[in-house]
Chains A and B, each alone.
Chain A
Amino acid sequence: MERGADPRPARRAVDPLVAVPVLAVTLLGTAVGLVFFFAPVDADQGISQKIFYIHVPCALTAYACFAWGAWKAYLHLWKRTPGADMESYVAIHQGVIFGALTLLTGSIWAKASWGHWWVWSSRQLVLFLVLFLFYAAYFMLRFSIDPGPARANLSAVYAIFGVALIPVSFLAIRLAEDFVHPVVFKRSGPAMTGSMFLTFCVAWAGILALAAAFYHVELAGKRLDSRVRELRGLLR
């Protein structure tokens, strides 16, 4: 390095730590406005149907986070991309947070619509719970191994195996025979009005942006933490 050169990494023109949270707040604010003042009240379920605009985006975002975690795990295992293990861990952490939100909001919606907090006979619900518990167990595996290459490799293999559950969970709603859980997205298109679909799309974009904001903030914190540890080691 040249004498006097700045050792810090070059700043990007758009810092994701600022841009993504701003985007998330804008989209979520718009989504809340659309949910309460634009989207019509469902003729069948009434006002409780509006839980759909938060429940389904949380579920789809959880799937996206798990898939992103598996992609980063693949990059760690096959390409040995630096930092991919940490990125995979943070993505799965986000997936578990949004998975928990899916279960909580779904449970409230189930109570409002079906009169029960949980229905064990619904394959869709049980498979999502299995997917959630599988990824919750990821942390038990990860923190039961000492930090190092072994932990990173085992965590990556586990994250990749888990991604196989995503299509099973997603398709279970179509394969289910109980007809308890509603099917909204069909081959013929979304079974909702245009205003409902627009509201859903904005809400999903908002929740995705929120997950991306959490991802960048948590990742920045983890990187900062590892640099502080490194500095402590150098000063001792």
Chain B
Amino acid sequence: MSGGDYLAAAYLVVLLVILVYVVIIGLKLARLDRDLSALVELARRRIEAPASMQEEQREQEEREESRVG
């Protein structure tokens, strides 16, 4: 190997390590994105659940009123 080959190898090693680091950070960000999406979905269900329960209760009350009436 010539001096130029060693020079290229040294700079390529640095570039490779930087790229590997960027890929690892990218994978971690993708995992965080998935976790956050799951949490948003969970929070949305929590908000929607009481509203649907209230609606069901109202419908039941209306049914009972019409039966009495």
> Which residues of A are in contact with B by a Cβ distance under 8 Å?
32, 45-48, 50-51, 54-55, 58, 97, 100-101, 104-105, 108-109, 111-112, 210, 214, 217-218, 221, 224-225, 228, 231-232, 235
Q: Contacting B3 at CB < 8 Å: which of A45, A54, A101?
A: A45
List 10 additional contacts besides A51-B6, A101-B13; criterion CB under 8 Å. Answer: A47-B3, A47-B4, A48-B6, A48-B7, A108-B13, A210-B18, A221-B25, A225-B28, A235-B39, A235-B43
> Is the pair B3, A46 in contact by a Cβ cutoff of 8 Å?
yes
> Is the pair B39, A231 in contact by a Cβ cutoff of 8 Å?
yes
> Which residues of B are in contact with A by a Cβ distance under 8 Å?
1, 3-4, 6-7, 9-11, 13-14, 17-18, 21, 25, 28-29, 32, 35-36, 39, 42-43, 46
Task: List 21 A-B pairs, Cβ < 8 Å.
Answer: A48-B3, A51-B6, A51-B10, A97-B17, A101-B17, A104-B13, A105-B13, A108-B6, A108-B9, A108-B13, A111-B6, A214-B21, A217-B25, A218-B25, A221-B28, A221-B29, A224-B32, A225-B32, A228-B32, A235-B43, A235-B46
Provide the bound-state CA to CA distance between A58 and B10, in Å. Answer: 12
State the majority secondary structure of interface residues on B.
Answer: helix
Provide the bound-state CA to CA distance between A31 and B9, in Å. Answer: 17
> Is the pair A108, B10 in contact by a Cβ cutoff of 8 Å?
yes
A209 CB to closest chain B CB, in angstroms? 13
A44 CB to closest chain B CB, in angstroms? 11
Q: Contacting A109 at CB < 8 Å: which of B4, B10, B46?
A: B10
> Is the pair A221, B32 in contact by a Cβ cutoff of 8 Å?
yes
Provide the bound-state CA to CA distance between A47 and B29, in Å. Answer: 40
A208 CB to closest chain B CB, in angstroms? 14
State the majority secondary structure of interface residues on A.
Answer: helix
A122 CB to closest chain B CB, in angstroms? 18
A104: chain B residues within 8 A (beta carbon)? 10, 13, 17
Q: Contacting A47 at CB < 8 Å: which of B7, B39, B46?
A: B7
Complex: chain B residue closest to A45, CB-CB? B3
Q: Contacting B42 at CB < 8 Å: which of A214, A224, A235?
A: A235
A100 CB to closest chain B CB, in angstroms? 7
> Is the pair B25, A101 in contact by a Cβ cutoff of 8 Å?
no
Provide the bound-state CA to CA distance between A130 and B37, in Å. Answer: 44
B28: chain A residues within 8 A (beta carbon)? 221, 225
Provide the bound-state CA to CA distance between A221 and B27, in Å. Answer: 11
B14: chain A residues within 8 A (beta carbon)? 54, 58, 101, 105
